[in-house]
Structure 1
Amino acid sequence: MTAPINTTTLAHNYRPDIDGLRAVAVLSVVIFHAFPNEAWLPGGFIGVDVFFVISGYLISKILFGEIEQHRFSLASFYGRRIRRIFPALAVCLAAVLAYGFVVLMPSELAQLGKQVFLGAGFLSNFALWSESGYFDRAATSKPLLHLWSLGIEEQFYILWPPLLWIAFKLKAAIGRLIIGLLVASFAVNIALSLTDTSSDFYLPVSRFWELLAGAALAWRRDIALKAGLKHLISLAGIAAILVSARLFTADMRFPGWLALLPVAGSAGIILAGSNAFVNRTILSNRVAVSVGLISYPLYLWHWPLIAFSYVIRGKPPTSFMAFGIVIASLLLAWATYRFIEGPVRFGSNRARHTQIAAACVAVLGACGLAVWVAAGVPQRFPASQDLEKLNAATLDVIYAPTNGMNVLEYDSRGHSMVAQIGQGARKVALAGNSAMFHYGPRFQQLADEGLLAVRAYFVTGPACPLVPGVIARDEFANCAHVANRLLELVQKEKVQTVVLGPHYWPRKNAFIEREGKSIPLDGGDEGRRAFYANLEDYVRQLQLNATVYLVLGAPQSLTGLNPQRMVTRGVTGVRVETNVDNAVPIANLRAVYAQSDADLRAVAESTGAKLLDVFPDVCGNGETCSAFFGTREPKFTDGVHLRPVFARKHLHFLDFLLM
């Protein structure tokens, strides 16, 4: 998010059309977040890129003027930033943390405390980058997720002013410096977009080029354009932004090359000047300017309201609720601007206001850290064994072979790994995605008891289908490596037994190569048939060296078996649901895998592979599957992945291969 320059002290330079451009940016983001299923603005996230360009332009314009006139002071610059950014941020952080104290379970509040701490330190983008991946908590459960963009801007503000001041002192070529840094940052962006989209999205080094595009405009502010050309540029600029917001989707590789369109559009509008047609007639409209003036607090408020609605309901808000959230966000933004931001920015005794604002954010950061360290303050709730157990289950780390085995290979982004346990003469390989490797604690239990009689290998990749030919064009692009690595391992180590969990994997941006064709794995029959045809070929390859077992679908339910959903939530608090039956009909759980299990049975019949079923170990042999074991301990950590404490003692379906 960007902050408007002080329109009191710089009134002669004030451009209302830039506030109007802010309105376009913030409304794009708000609509994208509030109505994700309406497909109105599937690319509304580009509003952040518009803000980056505006920020780079306005901040650099101020810096150039002050440095050239020998009035520049780091203390003065950062004081203005604090008075502009910190007051609204402090109010938002305080409100979000206070409300989280009421409605969040301990594990959730601990995560919120972490978000507050990192948000106050403008490090949210680094945290999201380090957490991103298959096992990251859903974005909708993070009320302060949106502070990543504020982090990038503040990191730019930390580096750019002193660098620019030094360059002026050394009489360096400022234009060349800007272009050089811009090109370097853009090159990093393109490189990461091809290899690591998460890093590309969150790291400042791949985003600074967008702010530097604005800085370049500020440096060449004397460019003279004919009136007709200005009108044309402004029309092209707004068209580029609107086309991006309407046609881009979250599944695309972004920022990458695609970010050029909204960045160029924003730069064009700024370059065209306040008298260009679009700027004068649309962006300088009183309504647009008014929304632009409250764009920063509007950005701050809208996402926490949306995220809390997800958390409380356990599902997205209805369209009616979303409209209400947008209205509430606008009202909160206006009140924040009117009663908090304005008095601090434009009132007297600015030095004191700066100190108070900085102290408030620092104290809130410390409070967030304390809540994080205190594990979400479970003492908030009355003594309840059920709540403690549910909370403990949600805190369980999803098992990975890296937790306690000899790691032979590990992809640092967590998308593939090879690990080994046991020293027996017989060799067994277990391969699949996360729904397979959470059986690993049973291997460790047998090893601890001296009963593991094999050398066992895990070849795994979170969310990866273990079938050759699958091409994923997103953060799981490395999945293709897993199937090939297993085949190499079986041949090299002379593995006698292979256990596979290769379930069909409908997914956007994924394809499977079959007989020279690239077939989308989007849920269609053609992709499914190609998937299992490739699996059949793969099983036959493995059978040249080993006996192959296929694991049928395992029980999972994001509602009935999920400890995070075993509580009653409301706008006033959270409590354990005491009168709900958490046993799920096994027929319902089996139905989830009816088609894929039928396909696996067909592959087994065709190839002679053997089938394994984990249902009896997890659910027993009755008609329902309980979410609990022992003294009402949850079996699952999230409704999909079994807790290690359960897997160790209760998963016996592989024992005959291991002992």
Structure 2
Amino acid sequence: MSIGKLGAGNSGFRLDINGLRALAVTAVVLYHFNVGGVTGGFVGVDVFFVISGFLMSGIIANGLQQGNFSVLSFYWARAQRIIPALVFVAVVLLVLGWFFLAPSDYKMLGRHVRQSLFFISNIGYLKESGYFDSASHGKWLLHTWSLSVEWQFYLALPLVLVAVWKVFPGKKAMTVAHLIALVVSFIICVKLTHAAPQKAFYLLQARSWEMLLGGLCFLVGAELKLSQGVRKTLEYAGLLLIVASVFCLDPSQAWPGYLALLPTLGAAMVLAAKSDSSWWSHNRLTEWLGTRSYSLYLWHWPLVAALFYCYQQNSSLWITAAILLALLMSELSYRFVEQPLRFGLKRLSLFRAVACLTGLLIVTGGMAQVVINKGGLTARMPAQFLEMEQRALVGNNSRNGERLAKGAPCVYGGKDIELMVIGDSHAAVLVTVAQGELPSQEQGVYFQAAPACLPVIGITEREHADQGEDDPCNRMKEQLAKTLDTEMSQVPVIEINRTSMYPLGYNGDDQTEKRKPQAFTDTPVDAATPESLKEFGRLYVESACAIAKNRPLYLVRPIPEMKIEMPEAVGKQMLLGKQHDFTLSREDYRARNAFVWSIQDQAHDQCGVQILDPLPYLCDDNVCYGSKGGEPLYFDDNHLNALGSSLLAPMFAKAFAAMPHMHNREGAVGANQMATGNSPPKA
């Protein structure tokens, strides 16, 4: 976000720039707190970028013209303005994290503090999940990505402009340099937005055009002589573009790309109008928000993350309290940290000032590095927390095992194959529970599954599209089809999948790509349609009936998806001194899985497929449980852990009791009797 305060490189305080800051920070804050339908409030950062470019190019251009510009002085001025308040926020978060963050989260915070202090957090976040993902709310310094982009721009801009000035002195050459760099960056931005949207969002080369647009506005606007009427038209047209962007755009649209022209051109138009007497910028509230915009920007996001940490992100009361606290913290930070340190450093000798600021960075960075090196300082955690976490994360090792990752078959239990279990990672979680309920230890389960893979011919998963024969899902489908045709022709099959994910998309994840259906028939679709659901259902039922033609087939109803990570949620409550069970209402479960239930019922009616329902074992009449008595039943948001899986043992036992061949030793198929002559390895 913009950190300059002086207008256009001179000593005048421009109210229109301050007003733009106020508008931008208000949009960002309301968007992050999910207030007032501000679906496009993230464009406030783009407005800040334009302001930064305008101010920085102005400072450099005026300094070069006056012959007194110093690159090092430029860097030092930016450091004095940005670093003290940023360090303060980082230290407060590290202190609070000691008491309230689990080791993995505390270690991540340490890493993010280090990246933020050295202005490379945009690169760090690029390697993690996206800005609009639900996981982003657990990153307490996510908003510093924009500071990193700006700082990287600040490092490059004076060097480039000084070099241009030495070869071609004058504003004309600087203007041409701005224009060329702007066009190149914009082309990169547009291309990356479609090919690699996270790179387009986070990287300097795709974002610098916005700051260069501000710089170009300064260089060109300084020469423009506009009438009062034209200036007013520019001003209000620019404001209209910004406000329209704030309320009409949303995270589902390709961003930044072409759409980023709307708020950035709007900001440039307001800057070009140079209006210091407008009602929207000339009032106490706007002036207060504008001057505190940097502090407010720094403090608001940790409070947003805190709401999500406490699972109060939808509480109007908590949101209101958090916004008021953000305003209070920004005032305190501005009065007692930002301003005193900024002007206090100026009263010191340059050597002492640099030493003080460097010392702040070293001490805070050192704190963060200790947290990282010590793995989040596990020793500070109560023993009860560590024991809970260890129990919660115990699951079926095969979920992440080599066989699952490769989509390869294996055998659980004895050599006499009495059952096949197929599916995706949900099948891998439950296969050992099923094997444990077989009547005899000599009986075994033939298992084959692949991650995010639905064993239905004719359906393609997004994750595995265009991956070729070596892809684990494609390999599993091909091999499984042969196995079902030629081997164990009478052995019952249990199919277990996170089925609703494929036609509908992930549940509870904000990332655009994950909200889309994760499987398709002909071409990917961005949202489920009646046509896509009809075709998916047809292929699903056909596949089920094809399997059931020669053997009993049991389809397991979808496991409840809790939407939040259960070990993390229970751990947070424990650290906050609270304990309650996390649940999902039956209504939410039905709304999510009604379509899958309907096609499973259709398969039952059409060809006698049997249904296994986990809900009686995981739910009561009103809710499904993600935890019970302070013990998580899942090791993430949708995979049951060992405790949760064990609750389904009676479901399998009841099903096996109704299978006569399970108790007839003559019906067993030996692993060494398979048609291929190569039995799968023991799991």
Category of TM-score, reference length = shorter chain: 0.7 to 0.9
Residue 41 of structure 2 corresponds to residue 54 of structure 1: no
Alignment partner of 2:570 out of 555, 566, 569 = 566
Cα distance, 1:74 vs structure 2: 2.7
Which residue pairs with 1:97 in the alignment?
Answer: 94
Alignment of 1:355-366 (within 5 A): 355-366=355-366
Q: Count residues in correspondence.
A: 621
Work out whether residues 82 and 354 of structure 1, in 8 Å CA contact, stay in contact via their aligned partners in 2: no
2:537 is matched with which residue? 532
Partner of 1:23: 22
Q: Does the 8 A contact of 1:431 with 1:466 survive in 2?
A: no
Structure 2 match to 1:390: 388
**Deviation for aligned residue 1:300:** 0.4
Say whether the 8 Å CA contact 2:500–2:593 is kept in structure 1.
no
Correspondence 1:186 to 2:186:
yes
Shift of 1:127: 2.1
Contact 1:32 1:45 in 2 (8 A): yes
Secondary structure of the 1:145 match is coil
Q: CA deviation at 1:364?
A: 1.4
- Bigger-Rg structure (1/2): 2
Counterpart check, 1:575 vs 2:577: yes
Equivalent residue for 2:483?
496
Unaligned runs of 5+ in 2: 485-492, 506-511, 657-668, 672-679
**Aligned-partner residue type, residue 267 of structure 1:** A
Residue 166 (structure 1) aligned with residue 163 (structure 2): yes
Q: Give the C-alpha shift of residue 356 in structure 1.
A: 1.8
Aligned residue number for residue 288 of structure 2: 290
Partner of 2:125: 128
Show the 5 A alignment for 1:234-383: 234-274=235-275, 280-312=278-310, 314-347=311-344, 348-349=347-348, 351=350, 352-383=352-383
How far apart are the structure 2 equivalents of 1:27 and 1:398? Answer: 47
Q: How does 1:397-476 map to 2 (within 5 A)?
A: 404-405=402-403, 419-420=407-408, 432=424, 435=426, 456=448, 458=450, 460=452
Change (3 A) 1:517 1:453: closer
Letter in 2 for 1:178: H
Amino acid at match of 2:450: F
Who is 1:637 aligned against? 635
- RMSD of equivalent CA atoms: 4.9
1:515-571 alpha-carbon deviations (Å, 9 max, x no partner)? 99998746x877654542353466679999999875431244357x9223335749x
Of 135, 140, 150 in structure 1, the residue corresponding to residue 137 of structure 2 is 140
Q: 1:294 is aligned with what amino acid? A: R
Q: CA deviation at 1:393?
A: 6.2
Q: Please say if residues 394 and 564 of structure 1, whose CA atoms lie closer than 8 Å, have aligned partners that are also in contact.
A: no
The residue identity in structure 2 corresponding to 1:104 is: L
Q: Tell me, in whole angstroms, the C-alpha distance in 1 between the residues paired with 2:141 and 2:216.
A: 31
* Conservation of the 8 A alpha-carbon contact between 1:430 and 1:500: yes
Contact 2:392 2:641 (C-alpha < 8 Å) held by counterparts:
no
Question: Any conservation in 2 of the 1:552–1:600 contact (CA below 8 Å)?
Answer: no
> In structure 2, what is the equivalent of residue 473 of structure 1?
none
Residues 613 and 287 of structure 1, relative CA distance in 2, 3 Å threshold: same
Q: Give 1:604 shift.
A: 2.6
In structure 2, what residue type is equivalent to 1:238? Answer: L
The residue type paired with residue 199 of structure 1 is: K
SS at match of 2:558: coil
| AA matched with 2:116 | G
Change (3 A) 1:184 1:518: closer
Q: TM-score, normalised by structure 1?
A: 0.78
**1:179 positional shift:** 2.1
Paired position in structure 1 for 2:490:
none
Instruction: Give the match for residue 214 of structure 1.
Output: 214
**Contact in 2 for aligned 1:190/1:257 (Cα 8 Å):** yes
Q: Percent identity?
A: 26
Q: Which stretch shows the higher mean deviation, 528-537 or 197-206? A: 528-537
Q: CA deviation at 1:377?
A: 2.3
Distance in 1 of aligned mates of 2:244 and 2:457: 38
Distance 1:520 1:51 in 2: 31
Residue identity matched to 2:538: A
Superposed counterparts of 1:151-162, under 5 Å: 151-162=148-159
